[in-house]
Chain A
């Protein structure tokens, strides 16, 4: 519900900024491009508990990427909307014994909406941003035992998530191209993955290094 309200608010703001006020619209620019990057923190958290054997592992070398849209408004204010995909993978021995192995692949789509404010510094055009993000996760677990069919991950507690984000970056321009390295931090509202043993959970904190390449006026 909150996500829907935020989405409607931001949409209304864009619509207002870009169309209702002609003077602003005349000064605005629109960029389209793609962003890609790497997570700086792991998407999952493993908790140590001396009383319980840990039966989860995950891969940390992942990337994320996807298209983005940026609307630059007067007064160095801008608006950005992304659709970022990241692939998740983890493995477990549900019964601890290595006789039964589970391998899970999951897809996460994040839809950040961010208001940006650039500083009027030549060449670098540094900017900061604040916004919200909506995420959807789904996945599939395969088992080493043929008796068990592929199934939705038992650890997947929620398929939708929301979060707040802040970002800092610079906007390097070359002709009509923009190159935007950025550090982005997202704080998620809930854990989408929660293991029954409490030792394996999705990380509430995402820190990503992203580079955007955009084309526009």
Chain B
């Protein structure tokens, strides 16, 4: 059929075409704001302003071993900048819009450069600040593309001189640390623009895993352990694989603070029937090579192996820093390395300085604005997260507390469950991928202390934040009306009862077994973070887009499509506590699992196929 057009129609089409051609650039331009210069005076040290909230709670006088030498080197100190009040309000509004399917801005993620143009420092200000730091003798290591921070290194004398503080050595729990002994200060000209300084201390956050060398074999004892094939069966991932959703084209950044042995990852993948797919390794520029740290190596291996286990064809980027996993996080977000970040490190809220918390809040907001999803463990010490920082502690005494970064509203906090495998949930033999799970296995709240007599405080982290208020999206059946950010958001298997097998430090010599026939078995909410990151990689692939903060979507899906989750309704993260200590009632501290959301297991675990199917039907642009 032939169509003919009139002159009017041609003119109309031309006008429409021209209109459409110029509309998009206009929108982009209107979104960009030329940030004003805020450093309006010369940066001089004569008059300074103290930056409050930088004294680490573990850097006590009792632990103080005196001032470090002037030549003591400090790497990767980061000066983070504070948006103006208007910028902060604008950022909060933008984050809402970016995650609202009804908004025109839905998922119009910013690049770091676009973030800089709206919320960062001006180029002129950055030049002045970098110039001042150089003048103090510091070596500039990294200027964030978002112009939200600058990273530099120098010796103690330079730090003490520039920031009017003293760097001391401390011994805490037998470990030597350094930290600023007094609050730092910055020149008055920077007082209104500096949010804080990171890495003036090297108190490391801890990996959230539990491990054991299982001195037995499953075919003798009947014990079961998880390999990727089992997890894919239990959480209904295989159906997603069958539709080609396997992480292809996606990337996950895993935060670390140790070198790794690629051979561990390769062996794990080969034993699990996963395709060869080595992670890429990025050492944060300016960081010394951290070498291999045994605890951190286990964490890194389990993160890399299990993120890749769930999303076998995703690219895994391992980000490594001698200055800790938070430095890796800063770099990964600053460079926009991947749309999904897994960090399995954390500590309780009160073990952070307020400056560190402000920095994390700012940085994770930037991550969400760039479309980055961050998964973090909710902790392994039940409702008594701070007590969990003390190895071997048997009774909680410090009161209820939750884990950072999981308690940040911009991060998805992953709690723990135990697979209740009493019944016919395992096949009698392993399949070609070493798996034997035959179906979903019911779950209860993770509590190895009470259920299996595990030494110490070992249960899924959960509770309410004492720092962060209730996000608007955290609503639904069972969500407490406590005006606080509640964690966890979801839970995944974490118990050593059916722990995860990994290969680490050359442990897999005879299959998954070491030369002494032992298996390296891992539990903890540390595993949940990379597993969840893998699930989000599948989601990103299915939707062909990054998701940013997935928490709003999780709560919507839980209400609208309950079969996207396995609601965990039995068990509790109770732990024994000292009578009279905060939150201790009748000898226990913690919460029970209930129908709907609860502070022991959050929304429950995930039926991945149903979850992936539900997301686009519920959270599509409108």
Residues in chain A within 8 A of chain B (CB atoms): 51-53, 55, 94-97, 99-100, 145, 147-152, 154, 196-198
Type the 1/0 row for B386-415, where 1 means its CB is closer than 8 Å to any CB of A: 000000000000000000000000000000
Q: B595 and A198: CB pair below 8 A?
A: yes
Contact B452 A99 (CB under 8 A): yes
A97 partner, pick from B422, B569, B576, B594, beta carbons under 8 A? B422
Q: How far is the CA of A51 from the CA of B420 in the complex (A)?
A: 12
One digit per residue, 1 when the CB lies within 8 angstroms of any chain A CB and 0 when it does not, for chain B 449-463 equals 111110000000000
5 more CB-based (< 8 A) A-B contacts, given A53-B420, A95-B418: A53-B570, A94-B570, A95-B451, A145-B450, A148-B576
Q: Who on chain A is nearest to B569 by CB?
A: A197
- Known contacts A95-B450, A96-B442; is-contact A151 B594 (Cβ 8 Å): no
Q: Can you list the 8 inter-chain pairs with the closest CB atoms, starting with the nearest?
A: A149-B587, A151-B586, A196-B594, A197-B569, A95-B571, A147-B576, A96-B420, A95-B451
Given known A-B contacts A152-B586, A196-B592, A55 and B570 have beta carbons under 8 A apart: yes
Residue pairs across A and B with Cβ atoms less than 8 A apart, 23 shown, are A52-B570, A53-B420, A55-B570, A95-B451, A95-B571, A96-B420, A97-B452, A99-B451, A99-B453, A100-B450, A145-B450, A147-B450, A149-B588, A150-B586, A151-B586, A151-B587, A151-B588, A154-B572, A196-B593, A196-B594, A197-B569, A197-B593, A198-B569
In the complex, are the beta carbons of B586 and A96 less than 8 A apart? Answer: no
Chain A residue at minimal CB-CB distance from B451: A95
Tell me if A96 and B444 are in contact (CB < 8 A).
yes
Contact code string B515-543 (vs A, CB < 8 Å = 1, else 0) = 00000000000000000000000000000
Of chain B, the residue at the smallest CB distance from A147 is B576
Instruction: Report the minimum CB–CB distance from B159 to chain A (whole Å).
Output: 47
Cβ contact of B569, chosen from A52, A145, A149, A152, cutoff 8 A: A52
Q: Is B251 an interface residue (CB 8 A)?
A: no
Give every chain A residue within 8 A of B449 (Cβ-Cβ): 147
Q: Is B102 an interface residue (CB 8 A)?
A: no
Q: Find chain A residues with CB under 8 A from B447 CB.
A: 95
- Does B555 lie at the interface of the complex (its beta carbon under 8 Å from any beta carbon of A)? no
A53 to B568: give the CA distance in the assembly, Å.
Answer: 11
Bound Cα distance A96, B585 (Å): 22
Give the chain A neighbours of B372 by CB distance below 8 A: none
A52-B569, A151-B588 known; A197+B451 contact, CB < 8 A: no
Residue of A53, A95, A145, A152 contacting most chain B CB atoms (<10 Å): A95
| Min distance, Cβ B570 to any Cβ of chain A, angstroms | 5
Q: Which residue of B lies closest to A49 (CB)?
A: B569
Which residue of A has the minimal Cβ distance to B576? Answer: A147
Q: How far is the CA of A51 from the CA of B449 in the complex (A)?
A: 26
B330 within 8 A of A: no
User: Could you say which residues of chain A place their CB within 8 Å of the CB of B569?
Assistant: 52, 196-198
Q: CB within 8 Å of A: which of B568-592?
A: 569-572, 574, 576, 585-588, 592
Asked if residues A197 and B594 are in contact (CB atoms below 8 Å), the reply is yes
* A197 near B450: Cβ-Cβ < 8 Å: no
Determine the chain B residues whose CB is within 8 A of the CB of A96 once the complex forms: 420, 422, 442, 444, 570-571
A53 to B420, CA, bound (A): 9
* A99 to B442 Cα, complex, angstroms: 17
Instruction: Give the nearest-CB partner of B446 in chain A.
Output: A95
Across the interface, name the chain A residue whose C-beta is closest to B452: A99
Asked if B166 lies at the interface with its beta carbon under 8 angstroms from chain A, I say no
Query: Is the CB of B598 closer than 8 A to any CB of chain A?
Result: yes
Contact A196–B598 (Cβ < 8 Å): yes
Q: Is B445 at the interface (CB under 8 A from chain A)?
A: yes
Residues of A within 8 A of B422 (CB): 96-97
Question: Which residues of chain B have C-beta atoms less than 8 A from A147's C-beta?
Answer: 449-450, 576, 587
Cβ-defined contact, B451 with A196, below 8 A: no
Within 8 Å CB of B595, what residues of A? 196-198
Nearest B-chain residue to A145, judged by Cβ: B450
Residues of B within 8 A of A52 (CB): 442, 569-570
Contact of A149 among B442, B450, B453, B586 (CB under 8 A): B586
Contacts of A53 in B (CB 8 A): 420, 442, 570
Task: Flag if B450 contacts A148 (CB, 8 Å).
Answer: yes
Q: How far is the CA of A82 from the CA of B473 in the complex (A)?
A: 51
Chain B: which residue is nearest A53 at the CB level? B442
Chain A neighbourhood of B594, CB < 8 A: 196-198
- Bound-complex Cα distance A166 to B622 (A): 56
Bound-state CA distance A105–B349 (Å) is 39
CA distance A198 to B574 in the complex (A): 19
CA distance A148 to B451 in the complex (A): 11
Q: How far is the CA of A43 from the CA of B452 in the complex (A)?
A: 32
| Shortest CB distance A194–B (Å) | 9
Closest residue of chain A to B593, judged by CB?
A196
Taking each of A53, A55, A97, which has the highest tally of chain B beta carbons within 10 Å of its own beta carbon? A97
Residues from chain B with a CB closer than 8 A to the CB of A145 are: 450
CB neighbours (8 Å) of A154 from chain B are: 572, 592
Task: For A55, list chain B residues within 8 Å (CB).
Answer: 570
In the bound complex, residues from chain B placing their C-beta under 8 Å from that of A95 are 418, 420, 444-445, 447, 450-451, 570-572
Q: When chains A and B are docked, how far (Å) is the Cα of A96 from the Cα of B568?
A: 12
Bound: A30/B598 CA distance, A: 54
What's the Cα separation between A145 and B452 when bound, in Å?
10
A147 to B456, CA, bound (A): 12
Give every chain B residue within 8 A of A94 (Cβ-Cβ).
570-572, 592
Given contacts A55-B570, A154-B592, A196-B569, contact A97 B451 (CB under 8 A): yes
Q: How far is the CB of B581 from chain A (nearest CB, A)?
A: 13
How far apart sit A7 and B430, CA to CA, in the bound complex (Å)?
68
A97 to B418, CA, bound (A): 10
B573 to chain A: closest CB distance in Å?
Answer: 11
Across the two chains, which residue of chain B brings its CB closest to A152? B586
Q: Please measure, in the bound complex, the distance between the C-alpha atom of A21 and the C-alpha atom of B501, giving whole angstroms.
A: 85
**Which of B450, B570, B571, B594 has most chain A Cβ within 10 Å?**
B570
Instruction: Report the Cα distance A149→B584, complex, angstroms.
Output: 11
- Cα distance A51–B447 when bound, in Å? 21
Partner of B588, one of A51, A148, A198: A148
The smallest beta-carbon distance between A109 and chain B, in angstroms, is 23
Residue interface mask B547-580, A partner, CB < 8 A = 1: 0000000000000000000000111101010000
